[in-house]
Chains A and B, each alone.
Chain A
Amino acid sequence: MKKILSKPESLKNAVLSYCPGCGHGIIHRLAAECIDELGVREKTIAVAPVGCAVFAYDYFNFDVTEAPHGRPPAIATGIKRTNPDKFVFTYQGDGDIAAIGMAETIHAANRSENITIIFVNNANYGMTGGQMAPTTLIGQVTETTPFGRNPEREGYPIKLCELLSTLEGTTYLERVAIYNPQNIIKAKKAIKRAFQCQIDGKGFSLVEVISNCPVDWGMTPLDSIKWVEETFIKSFPLGTVKDKINSII
């Protein structure tokens, strides 16, 4: 019998601290597999966010630095500009990237920093108990939108990929999901393409992964992936938002 699928080398053999059914573990694994397959583990410097993935350095088997909330794109800029030969990516949640860190996100993208961002969108602040995020859906009930998100009070969900697509500096932007194996395969392909974009020196790449947060959504893991499929991705359509990789020589 031959082992054909198992934990990638770029993941440590640790028990993940995420809640049962949470998508973070899948996304960690996809990033780790891509790094293994691209052979860049030993030159990777990753930036962990503030939020549920704050402990990413306990799970990833390569160099990882902490960052203040929202600042990973700036931190990654500092790392990559002084070490252009290293492989640099940030792993960020919706609050981190699109609320407190929106300025850092937009400007890193606009400078076309040759970094990759893995953006985990689960429509709420997971770590702090499920408050409204910039990506919370209209009508979605959270800890801080007990009557459902009302655009008159709380504005609209931010579609980050579409927002960033207007910037000349962005090279590759794709939104993927991980609610079933078919989409997980597509998500991995997108992450790998984004990483390759950086390796080829083609500038800013970001993959937005629509994920689930069963505990804070008050759902079972199965109900949560059903909600992603039936509701979440209706507001956040999947697919390539921008890809000019092939037009950059």
Chain B
Amino acid sequence: MAKRIDIKGLNLYYGRFHAVDNVTLSIPPRNVTAFIGPSGCGKSTVLRSLNRMHEVIPGATVDGKVLLDGEDIYDAGVDPVEVRRTIGMVFQRPNPFPTMSIRDNVVAGLKLAGVRSKSRLEEVCERSLRGANLWEEVKDRLDRPGGGLSGGQQQRLCIARAIAVQPDVLLMDEPCSALDPISTLAIEDLITELKKDYTIVIVTHNMQQAARVSDMTAFFNLSGVGRPGQLVEADDTEKIFSNPGKKETEDYISGRFG
């Protein structure tokens, strides 16, 4: 299931704006990799390029390679829709589909891919909700709309929805930034559990969170005002937070800027 990702010479653009410059990075499987860095440094942009969500934005373009277990997801013969089935994503703000019940939200990916078998959908629904630590809370109201849940529950619903299609990789774009501390804790616990089965990449503003949940940390920074963002360094989380290789990283971690 879980696969490794190798980013090679990745450049990202929004129209003429060069957003991220020449990122090369390896992300190991069954690990949590955190992307940290100041606002606008391109960490979310890099994350979105890992499942080809970057190109959804009009005018956005990509140069370079992203290898998933050695296969370039940007190869001309690759269908972006298939890439996104393999690499799931959880967003900053919980975004359950408002017209669907909790159950339909969870199995939306399968249903829209044409899975009709009721028993299969039931089974996936329960397994995914259990996987997202949400089953006990919602099992009695699976037919109620997903929008009626609390913010933290909605975010776990979105995680359940993402893992229901059984991806190899799970991308999380600041999944806790809209949540209160207790919900955040629930999600962080969940991330630690999920890494047994998935390769997880998480973007976070919160350095304590990166330190708590991740095995590896990549620090991104702007090379200057109006200049593209770049990868400064990536290493074991413990090393980055205790003994970073670059002064820039140390300054950021110790709160001297950003």
Partners in one complex: no
User: Which residue numbers of B lie inside 8 Å of A, CB to CB?
Assistant: none
